[in-house]
Amino acid sequence: MSDLNTFEQFFYYFSENGSYVFEQFITHFLISIYGVLLAAIVGIPLGILISKYSKLAGFIITIANIIQTIPALALLAILMLGMGLGKSTVIMTVFLYSLLPIIKNTYTGINNINKDLIDSGKGMGMTRLQVLYMIELPLSLSVIIAGIRIALVVAIGITAIGAFIGAGGLGDIIIRGTNATDGTAIILAGAIPTAFMAIITDVLLSFIERKLDPVKRHKKATTPTVQSLTE
C-alpha cells in the first residue's frame, strides 16, 4: 500500500470501500436535508410574518444573527450537553444555522416586491391571503430558494463537523483519515465527496432559482412577430 502514491491510494480506497463511502454520503446528505427542511418549515412562515409586522423583524433577525455568530463546533458542544450524542443533535445544529438565510431571504423577497403590484392586487379585490399566495409567494419564490440554497451549502459543511459527536456521514471518513498515519488518501475520500455534494447542490438549486424567477424567465422569450395596428 505504501508504494502507491496518494492518488492511487485514493482510488484503491474507493474501490475497496465504495459502498461504505456511498452509505456515509447518503447519511451526510440526509442530515443536511432534514435540518434545512425543518428550518424552511419554521423559517418561511416566520419570514412572511415579519414582513407583515415589521416591528417583529428587527427582533427575529437579530436572534437569527446571533445564532449564526456562534462557531459550529461550540454550538454542537452546547447542544450535545442537552441532547446527547448522535444525529438529532447535528440536525438541530443545522436547523439553527439555516434559520437566518431562510428567514432573511423570505423577508427580503416579500419586502422587495413592487408595492404597486400589491396595491393593484388589493384594489382589484384580493383578500390578504390571496395577495400572499397569488402575488407575494410566486414573486419571491426564487429569492426564498436562494436562501435555502445558501442554507444547504452551509449545512453540508456543518454536518461534516457533526461526525465529532457521532452522527456519521462523510466527516467520519475525514476523522478516520486524520487519525491514521499517512491518511491523506482517506481524508480525500471523505473531503472530495463532501465538496462534490456542496457544489452539485449549489448548481442544482441555482438552476431552480433561475427557473422560478418571473423576470428572468420571460425576458429571453421571443417577441411576437405580429405588431399592433396603432403602435
Partner 1 sequence: MLKIEQLSKVYKGGKKAVDDMNLEIERGEFVAFIGTSGSGKTTAMRMINRMIEPTSGTIYLDGEDLAKKNPVALRRSIGYVIQQIGLMPHMTIRENITLVPKLLKWTKEKKDQTAERLIELVNLPQNYLDLYPLQLSGGQQQRIGVLRALAANQDIILMDEPFGALDPITRDTLQDLMKDLQQRLGKTVIFVTHDMDEAIKLADRICIMHNGQVIQFDTPDNILSNPANEFVREFIGSHRLIQEKPSAKIVDDVMIKPITITSEKSINDAIRLMVKKRVDTLFVVDGQNHLRGYIDVESLTAARHTTTSISEAMEKDVFYVQNGTKLQDSVRRILKRNLKNIPVVDEEKRLVGLVTRANIVDMVYDTIWGDEDTENDGNSNNQEQQTGADEQQN
Q: Which residues would be at the binding site for partner 1 (CB under 8 A)?
A: 114, 116-117, 119-127, 130, 134-135, 138-139, 214-215, 218-219, 221, 223-224, 226, 228-231
Nearest residue to 79 (alpha-carbon basis) of 104, 63, 96, 64: 96
Shorter beta-carbon distance to partner 1: residue 9 or 142? 142
Shorter beta-carbon distance to partner 1: residue 121 or 166? 121
Shorter beta-carbon distance to partner 1: residue 45 or 138? 138
Query: How crowded is residue 209: how many other Cβ atoms within 10 Å of its Cβ?
Result: 19
Q: How far is the CB of 54 from partner 1 (least distance, A)?
A: 16
Shorter beta-carbon distance to partner 1: residue 127 or 178? 127
Phi/psi for 183 (5° steps) reads -90, 15
Give the position of cell 458542544.
77
Nine-digit cell at 116? 404597486
Q: How far is the CB of 114 from partner 1 (least distance, A)?
A: 8
Q: How far is the CB of 120 from partner 1 (least distance, A)?
A: 3
Give the position of cell 445558501.
150
Instruction: Report the sign of the C-alpha dihedral through residues 58, 59, 60, 65, in that order.
Output: positive
Shorter beta-carbon distance to partner 1: residue 179 or 223? 223
189 contacts 21 by C-beta, under 8 angstroms: yes
The set of residues, in sequence order, having a beta carbon less than 8 Å from that of 146 and lying 6+ positions away, is 105, 205, 206, 209
Q: How far is the CB of 109 from partner 1 (least distance, A)?
A: 13
Q: How far is the CB of 133 from partner 1 (least distance, A)?
A: 12
